[in-house]
Chains A and B, each alone.
Chain A
């Protein structure tokens, strides 16, 4: 055996060793990053799954889960299963940040649906941006979310200006109300929405007769309503995220024989918690909705059927949540097809995606991550239902 063949042998052994080492490293790496299930891709769901808003949160989580189950039944993405990870933020900013840290640290995590509350989105965004992890909120309407220059932020709902603009225009031009009182909950959502409604009615020449605040866990409105009664408003705008709180306020106002018309935002569009709970007291109330009533979208029929079979009735953000998950999965599919299953590629695909699902319009995102083509629907409570009365293209300031 000459020295040359010896060297060749040496080299091939080295090569094999190297290859083995590489395989071991990759294997170990995969095992580490995906919790011993090599090849699993993950999606995070961030939202208020416990605490006061848990009803709305869990109905959204269940809708996201449905989308994930569907894709797994169809064979996953590029043959890889998708796993949903729950991140409960209880609608609290600090917890939303902790959830974001957890998601970002998980290398198999490819995108996040949520958080749902504007305050949570705003506090978690810097973390998602640092991790380059796409985040699509189904319900965070505060303008700041997409105004702060974060590249990973997408939202499936119109901004507060959209709802505020439509509501303001409807109050002044359609209802002809001139004595408007606004109530918000001091939260990011409520305050932001009330600000936009107030700005719009002022721009239309109507000076609000007053503005009051309630705390999120307040259920006694006697003192506030006594104060409001003095101002004699013909319309009371409720910028509250919790339909049960609004129901208490409306019933207490009616018990005082206050005749003002009520109007509220998307958070209040809840049949069971608002219409049924008020037993007629909310009759004639208006709400704006940031998505079409999905029961009227033919493409949504199969989703509704599946969801209701599993979980009973839907709540406000179930449809939005399902669609958000579907869009994220679509972006991941495209990234996988492009051969680059990375966070950066998912982000890339999100920027150009066009997706027509169950919301009744083709979803796309503008340069800031705001949804394009969305409409605002004004609905009126008539009997047990919300009946559409007018729609507006969602306004966005230049």
Chain B
């Protein structure tokens, strides 16, 4: 049973990791806790659901899944960029508190807007119809199609992002702006555009996390971003906020801690365990699991 819980934990951890990356990238660059990130994820879930529901059931499942992923990322990027443009950019350079409050406001606007649009109703994601109900069982450990999809997509995205960050000129620019905005600007890096791209990348990952979460949980509602956003924030801090590999690691660690906690301590303590793990890790390693010498490097 522990092995099964590890599978559960890794799957959940993948979703946390995808979300935590967006948190971490934006924080690493702007020292802004983007509390609208969870709601950007929720938008992705609804956009993906809409794509699945709108396409005829006769189409092959992979076409519908792919359109859902594309729609989710596109919608989340659009909303994420709107948050950057209207809730963050006008307040850049006015301290840390004002943008934080403004982003919290954006979060409320997005969430309440979706509540109005959906009338508060949740939507069911027809996971079995898309992915079948088959599952691989190896030595008593069950892995079904949706888990494989979540883990597969996450691993692919994490590897691509890691490569982008370390090997491409865009990655270098992102790291440069995160390191020192003024110095980056002085050497000709278009800071504004790099910030926009960072928001877009983070939102895209959140959108993918949204539709994957929808497929995995099978139900989505306008409120889903709140809890997930909070967990992703914990994961980002756990891994060392501002650090991309740290965010991925933090997400996986948090997912594992929750699922193993349910198995070993009891379901009533699921959330408690997550936060105890956070406190213990921060006591031992105040900069998170993975931290560079400066404590923040993208």
Contact = CB atoms under 8 A, between A and B. Distances in A.
Interface of A: 50-58, 186, 212-215, 217-220, 222-224, 226-227, 230, 244-245, 247-248, 251-252, 255-256, 272-273, 276-279
A223 B115 contact: no
B267 A214 contact: yes
A230 B268 contact: no
Contacts of A215: 227, 270-271
B145 to A, nearest CB: 10
Interface of A is mostly: helix
A278 B262 contact: no
13 contacts: A50-B112, A55-B119, A214-B270, A219-B219, A222-B12, A223-B8, A223-B262, A226-B5, A227-B263, A248-B219, A251-B218, A255-B128, A273-B122
A50 B219 contact: no
B122 A244 contact: yes
A217 B225 CA distance: 10
B127 A52 contact: no
A54 B115 contact: yes
Given A213-B267, A244-B219, A279 B8 contact: no
A209 to B, nearest CB: 14
Interface of B is mostly: helix
A244 B224 CA distance: 11
User: Which 8 pairs from chain A and chain B are nearest by CB?
Assistant: A55-B120, A244-B122, A217-B227, A54-B120, A219-B217, A223-B262, A277-B124, A222-B8
A300 to B, nearest CB: 23
Nearest to B4: A226
Query: Which of A218, A219, A224, A244 is packed against the most chain B CB atoms within 10 Å?
Result: A219
B121 interface: yes
B294 interface: no
Query: Which of A218, A245, A255 is packed against the most chain B CB atoms within 10 Å?
Result: A255
A385 to B, nearest CB: 18
Contacts of B227: 215, 217-218
Interface in B1-43: 1, 4-5, 8-9, 11-12
A217 B223 contact: yes
Contacts of B221: 52, 244
Contacts of B124: 247, 251, 276-279
Contacts, number: 106
B258 A223 contact: yes
Contact of B126 (A219, A245, A248, A279): A279
B257 to A, nearest CB: 11
Contacts of A186: 268
A247 B259 contact: no
B127 A224 contact: no
B144 interface: yes
A112 B239 CA distance: 49
Contacts of A252: 217-218
B166 interface: no
Given A247-B122, A272-B121, 6 more contacts: A219-B213, A219-B219, A222-B12, A223-B5, A227-B1, A255-B127
Contact of B219 (A51, A212, A247, A255): A247
B133 interface: yes
B142 interface: yes
B216 interface: yes
Contacts of A273: 121-122
A223 B128 contact: no
Nearest to B266: A212
B88 interface: no
A245 B219 CA distance: 8
A247 B218 CA distance: 8
A280 to B, nearest CB: 9
B226 interface: yes
A151 B247 CA distance: 55
A26 B88 CA distance: 53
A172 to B, nearest CB: 24
A276 B216 CA distance: 18
A239 B35 CA distance: 31
B12 to A, nearest CB: 5
A55 B227 CA distance: 19
Nearest to A54: B120
A278 to B, nearest CB: 7
A248 B217 contact: yes
Contact of A217 (B4, B5, B226): B226
Nearest to B126: A279
Contacts of B268: 186, 212-213
B78 to A, nearest CB: 24
Contacts of A278: 124
Contact of A277 (B5, B9, B219, B226): B219
Contact of A227 (B9, B128, B226, B262): B262
Given A217-B227, A226-B1, A248 B263 contact: no
Contacts of A276: 124
Contact of A223 (B216, B226, B259): B259
Contacts of B8: 222-223, 226
B115 A220 contact: no
Contact of B263 (A223, A245, A277): A223
A273 B127 CA distance: 16
B223 A224 contact: no
Nearest to A186: B268
A248 B263 CA distance: 20
Nearest to A214: B267
A281 B128 CA distance: 11
Contacts of B133: 255
Contacts of B128: 251, 255, 279
Contacts of B223: 51-52, 217
